[in-house]
Amino acid sequence: MEKKRIEGFPHVKYHRPKLTGNEMVSRSEAFYQEMEQRRTVREFDSTPIPVEVLENIIKTANTAPSGAHKQPWTFCLISDSELKTKIRKAAEEEEKTSYASRMSATWKEDLKPLGTTWEKPFLEEAPFLIVVFKQSYGMKNGEKIQHYYVNESVGIACGMLLSAIHKAGLVAVTHTPSPMNFLSKLLKRPAHEKPYLLIPVGYAKAETYVPDIQRKPLEDILIRF
Ligand code: IYR
């Protein structure tokens, strides 16, 4: 690729082939239809999955845009059963307290259609757990590196991660046990990394059911000017 220097920083030529209107309509429609099939699934089949699939999924998340291209994320990939058991135990301990006393009555009412409880068997059943950490700041050779728009950057990366999981034919649940600091301890992450999401990944169990929910129509979410 041709390189030129702009104010001392190398730039490379970038090109995307220009598609016709029809081509864009059909590609965007096909992608939408595919993403429309994505559902949060909490029941996993234990069939093993090549680790390369997970590596590709995480590589995809790593293509996300981020503030000043600092890529303020770390992904922990867990397949070890003993570690999964420890994570399940610690998560359930927090969730028990949350469901018993931390969550409001309205919150629990809102969760009724999903059927969630403090029990999290999927943390042991899924062949892989991905724990996403956000880096409040970076560390290189003992020096602090400033990070920007950390929540936005990591949120976008997680969206791309979930899309890649779906594209690979797998399912996931975005689990947020609260508080999540037990994950920092179990995974021995440094102080500048904070747990962001815990995402079990695998094949959906052969016979699995998901709530019969509808997505908001475009008229409800789009305001045209
Ligand atoms: N973190 C809890 C509760 C929970 C909260 C929301 I908001 C959900 O959409 C789903 C669950 C749990 O994982 O059970």
What is the CA(189)–ligand 1 centre distance, in A?
24
What is the CA(175)–ligand 1 centre distance, in A?
7
pLDDT of residue 152: 98
Dihedral Cα 67, 71, 72, 76, nearest 10 deg? 150
Q: Is 176 in the pocket of ligand 1 (CB under 6 A)?
A: yes
- CA dist 188 and 139 (Å) reads 16
By most ligand atoms within 8 Å of CB, the mutation choice from 97, 176, 178 for ligand 1 is 176
Q: Is 175 in the pocket of ligand 1 (CB under 6 A)?
A: yes
The answer to whether 4 and 132 have CB atoms below 8 angstroms apart is: no
> Pairing relation of β-strands 171-172 and 73-78?
unpaired
By most ligand atoms within 8 Å of CB, the mutation choice from 111, 178, 182, 199 for ligand 1 is 111
What is the CA(176)–ligand 1 centre distance, in A?
6
Interface confidence, given as ipTM, is 0.92
The pLDDT profile of the chain, 225 residues, written as one tens digit per residue, is 555 567 889 999 999 999 999 999 999 999 999 999 999 999 999 899 999 999 999 999 999 999 999 999 999 999 999 999 999 999 999 999 999 999 999 999 999 999 999 999 999 999 999 999 999 999 999 999 999 999 999 999 999 999 999 999 999 999 999 899 999 999 999 999 999 999 999 999 999 999 999 999 999 999 999
Return the SS3 of 39. Answer: coil
Tokens of 149: 């728009």
φ, ψ of residue 181 in degrees (nearest 5): -60, -20
Of ligand 1's listed atoms, the one at least distance from the Cα of 178 is 1
Q: Where are the alpha helices (DSSP H) in the chain?
A: 21-36, 51-61, 81-97, 105-111, 122-125, 150-167, 181-186, 218-221
pTM: 0.95
What is the CA(89)–ligand 1 centre distance, in A?
17
Q: Is 95 in the pocket of ligand 1 (CB under 6 A)?
A: yes
What is the CA(95)–ligand 1 centre distance, in A?
9
* Tokens 């290189």 sit on residue: 140
